[in-house]
Amino acid sequence: MPVQSGSHLLQAGTDICTVQKLPGHSDVNTTNIYTRELKVAAGGTASVLDALGSLA
């Protein structure tokens, strides 16, 4: 599975254990590559919670 696919699944809220099973990773540390990718991509991303302040 490409790293982007795993990252998208995690970003959508899929459990990391589920993402681990899809490509057949035997070690969750291999799957953690996807979480590192998310941290890099989220560097300049605003949180959804930031938008809640404008609703009040």
* Per-residue tens of pLDDT for the chain, all 56 residues: 566 677 788 888 888 888 888 888 888 888 887 777 776 555 555 666 666 765 55
Structure tokens given for 28 = 């969750």
Structure tokens given for 18 = 């589920």
* Residue 2: per-residue pLDDT: 62
* Residue 50: per-residue pLDDT: 65
Contact 35, 14 (CB under 8 A): no
* Residue 12: per-residue pLDDT: 83
Burial letters 16-37, b for 16+ CB under 10 A, else e: eeebbeeeebeeeeebeebeeb
* Residue 46: per-residue pLDDT: 61
* Residue 28: per-residue pLDDT: 83
- DSSP assignment, residue 26? S
Structure tokens given for 26 = 């035997």
